[in-house]
Structure 1
Amino acid sequence: MQPLFDDFTVDTVLPWQVIAVRLVFAILLSGILGFERELTDRPAGLRTHMLVSLASATFALVAVEIISMQVFADQRVQTDPVRLVEAITAGVAFLAAGFIIFKRGQVRGLTTGAGMWLAAAIGLSVGLGLWTIAALSCLLGTIVLALLRRLEVKLAIKKPTPGAEE
């Protein structure tokens, strides 16, 4: 019976406080992007962006922990961190593609899909502890989403979003 309980350990390479901060930071940064999407009444908003980023950060943390697990220390087991990036990219691309709609000769949802992809990248960056990359990506993504939308409206490239303040 004891071996069964030995398997239920909370030991991780990273301290739980670091894990918690990374997960919360992923939620906060992607929440900024999601909030902008909410303001413009887009289908993938605050909660969706936060969940995508949280999931990506979780996958990154799992990858960090897997690399150090004794069960995977065998010579025959090889780790390739790039596979993590590829898997998250493919998964989120599939999810983001669901927001893209072609209707009456118009393509809609591309920016929402791109925002989802960026939220995943931010989450992955935070999960791996790459704080500067995550923060700068969030800042630049917010600038692109919020400020360039206003510029497009002023230049009459896009119509104002109903209900959004100009």
Structure 2
Amino acid sequence: MFDSEIPLMDMLFRLLAAAGLALLLGLERELRGKAAGLRSHMLVSLGASAFIMMGIHILFATAEGDPSARIDPTRIVEGVIGGIGFLGAGSIIQSRGSIQGITTGASIWTAGAVGVACGIGNLALAGMVTALALIIMVVLGRFEHEVINDN
């Protein structure tokens, strides 16, 4: 049986929370007809959460053996952020002299942050980030479209 500092049901709950919260971010992008939608956001968040939990497992596994072999968990977060940034950058394109996809790239990056928060077990932070991101994407998106772009 797999032995970890995080109980199996807690792992499952963290992964489900990561996927579920990212679903909300992806749904907003999906409804706007963007290429990176539900599945993309959910997979990014799920993967980020899994990598963080693997890092936690490695951290505790190496702590039991040789203390000099301990890993720095911030390096795992750094790697996840870098990888997700690469995915987000891939969603930004230049078309007919204008740049498109910046909000989608930012939402993918935010989905990764939600996944990291879920992976460390900070579901309150993950929920707040999701709520604020949705407010920014939906409410401020409408404001930007109706008020700023109409001028």
**TMscore range, shorter length:** over 0.9
| One-letter amino acid matched to 1:35 | L
CA RMSD of the aligned region, Å? 1.5
1:46 is the counterpart of 2:50: no
Which runs of 5 or more residues in structure 1 are unaligned?
Answer: 1-8, 159-166
**Residue of structure 1 aligned with 2:137, choices 133, 137, 145:** 145
Distance 2:117 2:82 in 1: 16
**TM-score normalised by L of structure 1:** 0.86
Which runs of 5 or more residues in structure 2 are unaligned?
Answer: none
Residue range with higher mean Cα deviation, 51-60 or 103-112: 103-112
Distance 1:71 1:124 in 2: 22
**Residue of structure 1 aligned with 2:47, choices 42, 55, 72:** 55
Does the residue aligned with 1:13 lie in a helix, a strand or coil? coil
Q: Once the two structures are superposed, what CA deviation does each residue of 1:42-81 show, in whole Å capped at 9, x if it has no partner?
A: 1100010000000000001101111111586313213211
**TM-score normalised by L of structure 2:** 0.94
Distance 2:19 2:142 in 1: 25
Alignment partner, residue 18 of structure 2? 26
Percent identity between the two aligned chains: 37
Does the residue aligned with 1:155 lie in a helix, a strand or coil? helix
Structure with higher helix content = 2
**Residue of structure 2 aligned with 1:98, choices 90, 93, 96:** 90
Residues 92 and 99, structure 2, Cα contact 8 Å, conserved in 1? yes
Does the residue aligned with 1:150 lie in a helix, a strand or coil? helix
Distance 1:149 1:100 in 2: 18
Give the structure with higher Rg (CA).
Answer: 1
**Residue of structure 2 aligned with 1:85, choices 61, 73, 77:** 77
Residues 59 and 71, structure 2, Cα contact 8 Å, conserved in 1? yes
